[in-house]
Amino acid sequence: MGQSLLLLQLVVILGASRVFAYVLRAFGQPPVIGEMIAGLALGPLLFGALAPGLHAQLFPPQSLPVLAGISQVGLVLFMFIVGAELRMPGGVAAQLRASSWIGGFSVLLPFVLGIAIAPWLHPELAPAGVALLPFALFIAVAMSITAFPIMARILKEKGLAGSALGTLGLTSAATADVLAWVLLALVVALISAGGGWYGFARALGGLVLLVGVAFALVRPAAAALLRRHAGDGKPDGTTLALLLLLTFAFAATTHWLQLHAVFGAFLFGVCLPRDDRLLDTLVERIEHLSVIVLMPVFFALAGLNTSPDAFVGMGLSAMGVILLLAILGKVLGGAAGARLGGTGWRDSFAIGTLMNTRGLMELIVLKVGLDIGVIGREVFTMLALMAVITTLMTSPLLGWLLRGRTAASAGNRETQSV
Amino acid sequence: MGQSLLLLQLVVILGASRVFAYVLRAFGQPPVIGEMIAGLALGPLLFGALAPGLHAQLFPPQSLPVLAGISQVGLVLFMFIVGAELRMPGGVAAQLRASSWIGGFSVLLPFVLGIAIAPWLHPELAPAGVALLPFALFIAVAMSITAFPIMARILKEKGLAGSALGTLGLTSAATADVLAWVLLALVVALISAGGGWYGFARALGGLVLLVGVAFALVRPAAAALLRRHAGDGKPDGTTLALLLLLTFAFAATTHWLQLHAVFGAFLFGVCLPRDDRLLDTLVERIEHLSVIVLMPVFFALAGLNTSPDAFVGMGLSAMGVILLLAILGKVLGGAAGARLGGTGWRDSFAIGTLMNTRGLMELIVLKVGLDIGVIGREVFTMLALMAVITTLMTSPLLGWLLRGRTAASAGNRETQSV
């Protein structure tokens, strides 16, 4: 019975994703946003409110670990592909400097704003027994996340993935993510472990070590393997299996370092040799299935963790303030960083808008917060809706800021579509 | 913690699959057999016996539903691809007649032999409270299964997938499977429900109806969709998503009919229009990931259900008899059917040998038997080992029977490799 439930859940999740993606396309939104909203709609806010009995039958609590496992496999594979597709076009040094400014400011400003409003939210919205400091730190981190993978999908769907602007956005998001995730690891270590500084040092030291191993040992070994077994750009079954094995091994390592599995998968993708033919094959063989089948499961799981209690009491006003500060912090912080890095005004705001995309990563951070008990389902819901709204804004704002510019004039290398 | 365990489990499962596939390649076995044996080796018979503490930590019972869910998704996707790849070369009518003879005899003979030995096995090996009739029927069905997907992989890996012999084997296996699964549905209905004939009629009637809907309605609709959105043989994201949604919907339907999800997925694959370019793309986008990541999880799960108790008491002699009769029943039954269908002697034995491949399907049937309680873990283990041994025999026996014949002379259309 459990297994037929899984099939039914998948049919409902994939069906809802298609319906919402279709509807949102009419508003010029990329499919990924429709899939995210479909996931939230499958939770108690919409489906659960309309048909509580059916909802309880279709998504009983004991069935959720299975969906969680499937969504984790999808996330790891997706992040591997995102890493493998990352390209550094000319002017790497300038790019790195600019992306450090952007990444730094677009984390710092929302972080400070998050700390600032936490004392106001804490009395009514923190779970019983959670002190102000960990709650404030978590809210601050949650506001400073940028959704690397969703930004990547938006850029791909707008045909900007290979453009200078797109690459600057992605490298900045990577910088911001590492920063925000290190902060998150610290917060998690502070809360769930005892020794915050030990956890911090272990996570950061472990990551540096893993990056060293990836580029000094794994990269040349992978290059040799691929030269031997994938000379025509089509790796054989065994080679592909080894690459996927390493993907999961890297993911398990960073998860063990409390830096989340997605970082390991991304790192392994990044450290592979840049060979377009090979990577096109990898994308073709891995990305479609993870994007189409496995990611919608992740979104649905996030939706199942929302709660309508978020709208009672001070809920609505709290959500309004969180949303406003989240947007201001990211857009202004990102734009300020880009200006300092030498980008023109309009592109700086485009970068700020891109950094405001929180979608998927935010949902992961929120899940971590819920798991360790530093936030309840009400704050989870507010921040999840904030994530959806800031992500929804990205496409129209970006279109408006870049109006009159075609993908080609933005320096686009090739038009990619998923 | 649960989620980092899943990553670790995947690393161990994928790593073991690679090691065993590598070792067995030295003996001329296709990788799939190495993966199957790796799965069984991860159970209590090898890994659990060598390092019981570590084994219990890595595969605690509460972690198994997640692995089961992942393996089910993989199985459904794999069977969809197997169906989509099925081709009927010239002489369909003759082929169907021949495959009916082969399918019929290769189910009937092992079935009768299974019924014959059940009274001897029942007193010591049936779980307490299970009567002789359901036990005998289940043993009989379990002996008459042919592993359609593993046969497909062996044929592919031997470059025989498009040959006349390969196609005859696959269509016969499909015939045998439908027969055996209908028998299984009857047994399951007899045991778990009350009214056996109602369950039988519902499963068979439902299947006939679903086949009608698939070919009369779904096939033309899919053809129209693909003509519009995949004119270049590369379906866009939305089209691929719709195809996968329908795959899971078909799988959920046959599961609901108690005919197992794999049949629905296979049926949907079969009913798609035969367009080589389109199907090559589907294979490229779906098959690799399901074969490399998801199927090894299925094998590991089977391994975790084995028990060393299978070798105490009359266990070893029971296993020997089961193995001998399983082989004789399939090879002689299949060969007799092929001869009656007009195939030459040597090819008839090659067909019989192919029908003796039980691997994956057998493991599914055994899982069903274990779930409804008609067999215990001892009989599960015996039949699982029988499945591995009969599958291991296929490649060398086939090579010996077809010695001196190249893939090309066997009527091979193209060399495919996974």
Q: What is the pLDDT of residues B68-79, one digit of tens each?
A: 899 889 888 988
Categorize the per-residue pLDDT at B409 as very low, low, confident or very high, splitting at 50, 70 and 90: very low
As to burial, measured by CB atoms within 10 angstroms (0-12 exposed, 13-18 middle, 19+ buried), residue B4 is middle
- Looking at per-residue pLDDT, the higher value among B159 and B337 belongs to B337
Rounded-to-integer distance, Cα B180 and Cα B190, Å: 15
State whether B248 and A14 contact (CB < 8 Å): yes
Categorize the per-residue pLDDT at A379 as very low, low, confident or very high, splitting at 50, 70 and 90: very high
- How close A308 gets to chain B, by Cα (Å)? 27
Q: Tell me: pLDDT of A169 over 80.
A: yes
Closest CA to A133 of A180, A176, A178, A186: A186
- Give the pLDDT confidence score for residue B305 in this predicted structure: 87
For residue A72, give the chain B residue with the closest CA. B3
Categorize the per-residue pLDDT at B16 as very low, low, confident or very high, splitting at 50, 70 and 90: very high
B126 φ, ψ to 5°?
A: -80, 145
State whether B251 and A288 contact (CB < 8 Å): no
Instruction: Give the list of residues 6+ apart from residue B53 with CB closer than 8 angstroms, or none.
Output: none
Categorize the per-residue pLDDT at B85 as very low, low, confident or very high, splitting at 50, 70 and 90: confident
- How close A18 gets to chain B, by Cα (Å)? 7
Q: How many residues does chain B have?
A: 418
CA B257 from chain centre, in angstroms, equals 19
SS3 category, B342 = coil
- Give the pLDDT confidence score for residue A416 in this predicted structure: 34
Between A84-88, A127-131, B3-7, B8-12, the lowest mean confidence (pLDDT) is in A84-88
Categorize the per-residue pLDDT at A415 as very low, low, confident or very high, splitting at 50, 70 and 90: very low
User: Average pLDDT, whole number, for chain A?
Assistant: 83
- All residues of chain B having their beta carbon less than 8 Å from the beta carbon of residue A72 are 3, 6-7
C-alpha torsion angle, residues A13, A19, A20, A25 (rounded to 10) = 140
- Give the pLDDT confidence score for residue A233 in this predicted structure: 62
Task: Name the H helices within B26-63.
Answer: 31-41, 47-50, 52-58
State whether A285 and B290 contact (CB < 8 Å): no
- Give the pLDDT confidence score for residue B411 in this predicted structure: 41
- How close B116 gets to chain A, by Cα (Å)? 32
- All residues of chain A having their beta carbon less than 8 Å from the beta carbon of residue B20 are none
Task: Name the H helices within A86-218.
Answer: 92-125, 132-143, 148-157, 164-192, 196-213
- All residues of chain B having their beta carbon less than 8 Å from the beta carbon of residue A245 are 11, 14-15, 18
- Give the pLDDT confidence score for residue B413 in this predicted structure: 37
Instruction: Give the list of residues 6+ apart from residue A181 with CB closer than 8 angstroms, or none.
Output: A259, A260, A263
Q: Which amino acid is at A63?
A: S
- All residues of chain B having their beta carbon less than 8 Å from the beta carbon of residue A15 are 245
Task: Give per-residue pLDDT as tens, A117-138.
Answer: 999 999 988 888 888 888 999 9
Between A400-414, B104-118, B185-199, the lowest mean confidence (pLDDT) is in A400-414
- How close B115 gets to chain A, by Cα (Å)? 29
Q: Tell me: pLDDT of B90 over 50.
A: no
- Compute the average pLDDT of residues B261-281: 82
CB A73 within 8 A of CB A244: no
Instruction: Give the list of residues 6+ apart from residue B25 with CB closer than 8 angstroms, or none.
Output: B31, B34
- All residues of chain B having their beta carbon less than 8 Å from the beta carbon of residue A293 are 73, 77, 244
- Give the pLDDT confidence score for residue A406 in this predicted structure: 52
Between A28-32, A361-365, B84-88, B366-370, the lowest mean confidence (pLDDT) is in B84-88
Q: Which amino acid is at A409?
A: S
- Give the pLDDT confidence score for residue A74 in this predicted structure: 87
As to burial, measured by CB atoms within 10 angstroms (0-12 exposed, 13-18 middle, 19+ buried), residue B273 is middle
- Compute the average pLDDT of residues A398-417: 56
State whether A31 and B238 contact (CB < 8 Å): yes
Nearest-CB residue to A289 (from B2, B248, B286): B286
User: Average pLDDT, whole number, for chain B?
Assistant: 83
CB A268 within 8 A of CB A6: no
The 8-class DSSP code of residue B294 comes to: I
Q: Tell me: pLDDT of A295 over 90.
A: no
Q: Tell me: pLDDT of B199 over 50.
A: yes
Test the A interface: residue of B3, B24, B25, B242 with most A CBs within 10 Å? B3
Q: Tell me: pLDDT of B32 over 50.
A: yes
The 8-class DSSP code of residue B290 comes to: I
- Looking at per-residue pLDDT, the higher value among B243 and A363 belongs to B243
CB B303 within 8 A of CB B43: yes
Domains of chain A: 31-54+71-401 (1.20.1530.20)
- Compute the average pLDDT of residues B238-263: 86
The 8-class DSSP code of residue B286 comes to: I
Closest CA to A355 of A327, A385, A319: A327
Task: Give per-residue pLDDT as tens, A193-220.
Answer: 555 577 667 777 888 899 899 999 999 9
Q: Tell me: pLDDT of B417 over 50.
A: no
State whether B288 and A285 contact (CB < 8 Å): yes
ipTM: 0.81
- Give the pLDDT confidence score for residue B1 in this predicted structure: 39
Q: Which amino acid is at B286?
A: I
State whether A241 and B18 contact (CB < 8 Å): yes
Task: Give per-residue pLDDT as tens, B378-387.
Answer: 999 999 999 9
Query: Which of A116-125, A226-235, A354-363, B123-132 has maximum average pLDDT?
Result: A116-125
State whether B237 and A292 contact (CB < 8 Å): yes
B3 φ, ψ to 5°?
A: -75, -35
Instruction: Kindly state the percentage of chain A with pLDDT values over 90.
Output: 31
Rounded-to-integer distance, Cα A336 and Cα B18, Å: 50
Categorize the per-residue pLDDT at A413 as very low, low, confident or very high, splitting at 50, 70 and 90: very low
- Give the pLDDT confidence score for residue B189 in this predicted structure: 66
- All residues of chain B having their beta carbon less than 8 Å from the beta carbon of residue A79 are none
Q: Which amino acid is at A148?
A: F
- Compute the average pLDDT of residues B135-156: 84
CA A45 from chain centre, in angstroms, equals 22
